[in-house]
Amino acid sequence: MLPYFARRLAQAAVIVAFVAAISFALIHLAPGDPFSAVMDNPNVSESVRQTLRAQYGLDKPLPEQFARYVGSLARGDLGWSFSHDRPVLDVLATALPNTLLLMGVALVGSFSLGILVALIQVARRGSATDHALSGVTLLLFSMPEFWFAILALLAFTYWLPIFPVGGSVDAVMHDYMGLGARIGDRLRHLTLPALTLTVLAAGGVARYQRAALLEVLPADYIRTARLKGLTEREILRRHALRNALLPTISLIGLSFPALLTGAFFIEKIFAWPGMGLAVVSAISSRDYPLVVGGVIIGSIMVTLGSLIADVLYAWADPRIRAH
Amino acid sequence: MPGQIQESALTRIPRPRESAFALGLRRILRAPSSRVALAILATIVLIGLLAPFIAPYDPAAQPDVVALKSLAPSLAHPFGTDPYSRDVLSRVIYGARLSLAIGLLSTLVSLTLGVAYGAIAGYAGGVADAFMMRVLDAFLAIPRLLLLLGILVAWPQLSIGALILFLGLTGWFGLSRIVRGQVLALKHAEFVTAAQALGASRRRILVRHLLPNLISPIVVAATVGVAHVIVLEAGLSYLGIGVPQPLASWGNIIQDGADQVAALWWMSLFPGLFMVLTVMTLNILGEALRDAHDRR
Amino acid sequence: MATMNHVRLLCAVALFAGCVGSESTPGGKPGGTLAISIGGDPDVLIPSLVSTVQAAQMVDLVYDRLADIGDSLNVVGDAGFTPRLADSWTWSPDSLSIAFHINPRAKWHDGQPVRSSDVRFTLQSTRDSTLGTPVAALITNIDSVSTPDSATAVFWFHKRTPQQFYDATYQMPIMPEHIWKGIAPAAWRASEAAKHPIGSGQFRFVRWTPRTAVEVAADSANYRGAPKLARVVWSIAPDFPTALTRFLSGETDFFEVLRPENIPEVMKHPNLRVKTYRSLAYLFAQFNLRDPANHARPHPIFGNRELRRALTMATDRATIVRSVYDTLALPALGPTVRAYPTTDPNIRQIPFDLPRARLILDSLGWRVTRSDGTRSRNGRPLQFTLSVPSTSKVRIRLAVLIQEQLRQAGVKVDIEQLDFRVLVEKERKRAFDAAIGQWNTQPSPGSVRGSWGTPGSHASSGTNYGSYENPVFDAYVDSALASFDPGNARSYFTKAYETIVQDAPAIWLAEPRGIVGYNARVHLAPLRSDAWWAHIPDWWVAAGQNTP
Chain C touched by A32 (CB under 8 Å)? no
Question: Who among A14, A282, A299 is closest to B134 (CB)?
Answer: A14
Cα–Cα distance for residue pair A316/A322, rounded to 1 Å: 11
For residues C402 and C417, the model is more confident at C402
Cβ <8 Å between C190 and A44: yes
B159–chain C nearest CA distance, Å: 10
CB contact under 8 A, B83 and C397: yes
Q: Please say if the pLDDT value at position C322 is more than 70.
A: yes
What pLDDT was estimated at residue A41? 56
Percent of chain B with pLDDT over 70: 82
Chain C: residue whose CA lies nearest to B157: C416
As to burial, measured by CB atoms within 10 angstroms (0-12 exposed, 13-18 middle, 19+ buried), residue A66 is middle
The stretches in chain A having pLDDT less than 70 are 1, 30-59, 220-222, 236-241, 318-323
C548 and chain A in contact, CB less than 8 A? yes
**Residue B296 pLDDT greater than 90, yes or no:** no
pLDDT in tens, A278-289: 998 888 777 888
User: Which pLDDT score, from 0 to 100, does residue C407 have?
Assistant: 94
> Angle of helix A46-56 relative to helix A62-74, nearest 10 degrees?
110
Q: What are phi and psi of C293, to 5 degrees?
A: -80, -25
Residue ranges of alpha helices (H) inside A29-87 are 36-39, 46-56, 62-74
Neighbours of chain B (3+ CB pairs under 8 A): A, C
Among the partner-chain residues C212, C239, C422, the one whose CB lies closest to the CB of A285 is C422
Q: Is A143 exposed, middle or buried (0-12, 13-18, 19+ CB in 10 A)?
A: buried
**Beta-carbon separation of B262 and A159 below 8 A:** yes
Residues of chain C in Cβ contact (below 8 Å) with chain B: 239-241, 261-262, 265, 319-320, 322-323, 385, 390, 393, 397, 399-401, 403-404, 407, 414-418
**Rounded distance between C-alpha atoms, residue B137 and residue C513, angstroms:** 57
Contacts 24+ apart (CB under 8 A), C219-222: C219/C109, C221/C107
Q: What are the two backbone dihedrals, phi and then psi, of residue C277, each rounded to the nearest 5 degrees? A: -150, 160
Calculate how close chain B gets to C469, using CA atoms only, in Å.
30
User: Quick one: pLDDT at residue B10?
Assistant: 45
Q: Which of B84, B240, B263 sits opposite C401 (nearest CB)?
A: B84
* Cα nearest neighbour of A272 on chain C: C238
C35 touches A: beta carbon within 8 Å: yes
pLDDT of residue A236: 67
Closest chain A C-alpha to C240 CA, distance in angstroms: 12
**Mutate: best of C211, C248, C522, partner A, most A CBs <10 A:** C211
Find residue A19's DSSP bridge partners: none
Is there a contact between A18 and B275 if contact means CB atoms under 8 Å apart?
A: no
Question: pLDDT class for B125, splitting at 50, 70, 90?
Answer: confident
CA distances (Å), origin B277, targets A135, B207, B254, B264, B290: 12, 36, 16, 21, 20
User: Considering the entire predicted model, what is its pTM?
Assistant: 0.80
The answer to whether the Cβ–Cβ distance between C245 and A83 falls below 8 Å is no
Contact yes or no for A138 and B279 at CB 8 A: no
The SS3 call for residue C304 is coil
Interface test with C, best of A165, A173, A281, A287 (most C CBs within 10 A): A165
Confidence of residue C10 (pLDDT cuts 50, 70, 90): very low
Environment class of C16 (CB within 10 Å of its CB; exposed 0-12, middle 13-18, buried 19+): exposed
Q: Do B70 and C414 touch (CB under 8 A)?
A: no
Q: Phi/psi zone of residue B80: left (φ > 0), alpha (ψ -120 to 50 degrees), beta? A: left
Q: Which residue type sits at A169? A: V
Tens digits of residue pLDDT in B56-105: 999 999 988 888 989 999 999 999 999 999 999 999 999 999 999 999 99
Question: Could you give the CA distance from residue C399 to residue C383 in angstroms, rounded to a whole number?
Answer: 14
**Which range among A39-53, C23-37, C405-419 shows the weakest confidence by mean pLDDT?**
A39-53
Subunit contact A257:B144, Cβ cutoff 8 A = yes
Chain B hits for A282, CB-CB cut-off 8 Å, are 153
| C237 has a chain A CB within 8 A of its CB | yes
C10 with C26: CB under 8 angstroms?
no
Percentage of chain C beyond pLDDT 90 is 57
Task: Give the residue with greater pLDDT, B143 vs B262.
Answer: B143
Report the pLDDT value the prediction gives residue A260, as an integer from 0 to 100: 93
Going by their DSSP bridges, the two strands C231-236 and C434-440 should be labelled as: unpaired
- B240: chain A residues, CB-CB within 8 Å: 284
In this prediction, residues C84-94 reach a mean pLDDT of 94
Contact B137 A15 (CB under 8 A): yes
Asked if residue B202 has pLDDT above 70, the reply is no
Question: Which residue in B has a C-alpha nearest to residue C318's C-alpha?
Answer: B66
Residue C346 to chain B, least CA–CA distance (Å): 24
- What was the pLDDT predicted at C482? 86
* Mean pLDDT of chain C, nearest integer: 87
Interchain CB distance below 8 Å, C261 and B240: no
E strands, chain A, where?
A: 80-81, 86-87
Mutation for testing the B interface, residue in C386, C393, C402, C404 having most B CBs under 10 Å: C404
- Average pLDDT rounded to a whole number, residues C458-487: 87
Distance (Å, whole) CA A258 – CA A266? 12
Is the model's pLDDT at C92 over the cut of 80?
yes
The answer on pLDDT for B12 being more than 80 is no
Q: How many CA atoms lie within 13 A of C426 on its CB side?
A: 26
- A142 → closest Cβ in B150, B154, B280: B280
Nearest CA in chain C to B258: C241
What digits encode the pLDDT tens for the residues C327-338?
Answer: 899 999 999 998
**Which residue would you say has higher pLDDT here, C1 or A131?**
A131
CA pair distance C73, C277, nearest whole angstrom:
14
* pLDDT value at residue A42: 53
pLDDT of residue A85: 72
C390 in contact with A, Cβ within 8 Å = yes
Omega before residue B246 within 30° of 0, cis = yes
